[in-house]
Amino acid sequence: MAKEQWGSRLGVILAVAGSAIGLGNFLRFPVQAVNNGGGAFMIPYFLALILLGIPLMWIEWTIGRFGGGFGHSTAPGMFHTLWNKNRFIKYFGVIGIFGPIVIYIYYIYVESWLLGYSVFALMGKYNGCTTVESMAAFLNQYHGLENGEHFHGISTAYIFFLITFGLNIWILYRGVNKGIETVCKYALPVLFVLAAFLTVRVLTLGTPNPAIPENNIANGLGYLWNPDWSKLGESKTWLAATGQIFFTLSVGFGIILTYASYLSRKDDVALSGLTSAVTNETAEVIFGGSIVIPAAFAFFGGAATLSFAAGGPFNLGFVTMPVVLQQLPLGNLFGFAWFFLLFLAGITSSISMAQPSVAFLEDEFGITKPRASMIFAIGTFVMTQPSIFWNGKGVIGEIDFWGGTVCLVIFATIETVLFAWVFGMDKAWMELHTGSDIKIPRVFRFIIKYITPTILLLILLSWFWSDLPGILKMEKVAEDNVPYILTTRLMLLGFLVILVYLVWRAWKNKPQGGTSNAT
């Protein structure tokens, strides 16, 4: 079975950028910024980008291309190629499949909300919700958390979930070139056009309410970007900035490893990785920082905006923004642009989360693309149900924590140490520059070997010491939610055990535990 390849260099750059550009760019980033010192937040943000984000981007592009040359498209096989004398290292690579699936099983449901709200905006279904309270009730009714004039039960939300889920599987079924690459080639340009369209409209709002002249776009931008220097002394600001960089660049998930595995050895990874990172940062800093918070400030003022931001990104995206956009001429059109922009960002990310699992089944078990896609579909469909029917019980937050925080930092730490210390920095640096169109400054050689793994280890050890005991004891979980959280943890643990078994089974019949003589 011939290994898949990207159709063009632009295609792989857009696919990786599409994986990175997601809901976090337009919702999570502005919330993190406004809650952590505004402009001051950008100092640890850009330091994390230079010391963690870009190095990890290059590490994952390089490992992915290297492992792809040995017929592996996922972390277990790639980790084995980096350290084939250690028969256990491939099991640590399981995290690179487990993490993306864990995020996928709730992300796909959130993504379906965006499709639903895109339709609702065009239909004018929420036009009567002119306050944040009424819009919040609309959202709760859509989720089936309460009944009311708009929805009775969860049936409407479930229909949009089925449509979104089916669309994702269809794209995976079509493969890397005809599916993922084609979608990203069209979706990313449309996404940027919609983002620019909304940004221009927000920046030209001026002072929506002349009776309150201080509530204007200029002050809204200042509210987001003026630095609160006192926040730099708080550890949570630095941790928030670091976490945002992980999320925004999609590093630490194992996704880029899979995407880069479809490159040939002569394909550049240095410039391509940097280009995809710059594309993502443009979407996040320029567009993500110019829409939600300034618009909310201009209509509601600073105190209310801070309250909205404290309520989380969903509160801003699904409650505050539709109320704001309704007050504009052609409000339904702007509402559609907002939600469809987020839907495109969501689907280019969700298909990237799914691809490592499909690739693992293809590479290590010789299963065909259609069959692998169907196995993935059945498994994840079952695992998605708790996010849908136990929404409001803390399940989505629990799943996101283990998949999007714990797995992310652990996996990034392991791959960095493997790349720089086990594989060796001399070989790693040479591999990174093979086929490269740029010469990376040598200071990054020092950063990749010493700074990046040190920061990751400190974050990991700090978390294990200060947070893990309380989390395991569910100290902050509401008593009524404990059975749901416990069941969710057992489901995730069971899935992890299954993946470990599959890796063991895949390598059982391979000579000497593997096929690579890379090291």
Residue 77 falls within a domain, yes or no? Answer: yes
pLDDT digits (tens, 9 = 90+) for 220-256: 898 888 888 998 888 788 888 888 998 889 899 999 9
On the 0-12 / 13-18 / 19+ scale of CB atoms within 10 A, 5 is middle
Residues forming beta bridges with residue 246, ordered by sequence position: none
Residue 48 falls within a domain, yes or no? Answer: yes
Place 516 in a pLDDT band, splitting at 50, 70 and 90: very low
Residue 183 falls within a domain, yes or no? Answer: yes
Domain count, the chain: 1
How many CB atoms neighbour CB 467 within 10 A? 12
Which DSSP string corresponds to 374-417?
HHHHHHHHHHHHHHHHTTTTTHHHHHHHIIIIIHHHHHHHHHHH
pLDDT above 70 (res 517) = no
What is the pLDDT of the chain when averaged over all its residues? 91
Average pLDDT for 464-472: 81
pLDDT above 50 (res 518) = no
pLDDT digits (tens, 9 = 90+) for 92-151: 999 999 999 999 999 999 999 999 999 999 999 999 999 999 999 999 999 998 888 888
* H-only helix segments in 69-94: 75-82, 89-92
Which DSSP string corresponds to 457-516?
HHHHHHHHHHTHHHHHTTTTS-GGGHHHHHHHHHHHHHHHHHHHHHHHHHHHTSGGG-S-
**Separation CA 493–CA 489 (nearest Å):** 6
pLDDT digits (tens, 9 = 90+) for 144-176: 988 888 888 899 999 999 999 999 999 999 999
What's the per-residue H, E or C state across 324-357? HHHCCCCHHHHHHHHHHHHHHHHHHHHHHHHHHH
* Residue found by looking up tokens 């499709």 in the block: 115
Average pLDDT for 204-223: 89
Residue 17 falls within a domain, yes or no? Answer: yes
Residues forming beta bridges with residue 38, ordered by sequence position: 227
Which has more confidence, 265 or 352? 352
Average pLDDT for 59-74: 95
Specify the pLDDT at position 7: 86
pLDDT above 60 (res 500) = yes
Place 377 in a pLDDT band, splitting at 50, 70 and 90: very high
Specify the pLDDT at position 124: 93
What does the angle CA 343 – CA 347 – CA 351 come to, to the nearest 5 degrees? 170
User: Which tokens is 288 given?
Assistant: 């993500």
Question: For residue 278, which of 91, 121, 90, 57 has the smallest C-alpha distance?
Answer: 57
Specify the pLDDT at position 258: 95
pLDDT above 50 (res 514) = no
Give me the percent of the chain exceeding a pLDDT of 70.
Answer: 98
Average pLDDT for 419-423: 96
Place 1 in a pLDDT band, splitting at 50, 70 and 90: low
What is the model's pTM? 0.93
pLDDT digits (tens, 9 = 90+) for 79-94: 999 998 898 999 999 9
pLDDT above 50 (res 515) = no
pLDDT digits (tens, 9 = 90+) for 262-288: 999 899 999 999 999 999 999 999 999
Residue 417 falls within a domain, yes or no? Answer: no
Residue 475 falls within a domain, yes or no? Answer: no
pLDDT above 70 (res 296) = yes
Torsion of CA 207, 208, 209, 215, to 10 degrees: -50
Specify the pLDDT at position 513: 41
Specify the pLDDT at position 34: 87
Residue 388 falls within a domain, yes or no? Answer: yes
Q: Are 290 and 202 in contact (CB under 8 A)?
A: yes
**Which residue range(s) make up the domain with 359?**
9-409+486-510
What's the per-residue H, E or C state across 413-469? HHHHHHHHHHCCHHHHHHHHHCCCCCCCCCHHHHHHHHHHHHHHHHHHHHHHHHCHH
pLDDT above 70 (res 26) = yes
The 3-state DSSP composition of the chain as helix, strand, coil percent (nearest 5) reads 75, 0, 25
For residue 381, the domain's CATH number is 1.10.4160
Specify the pLDDT at position 373: 96
**Separation CA 519–CA 514 (nearest Å):** 12
Specify the pLDDT at position 519: 37
Residue 477 falls within a domain, yes or no? Answer: no
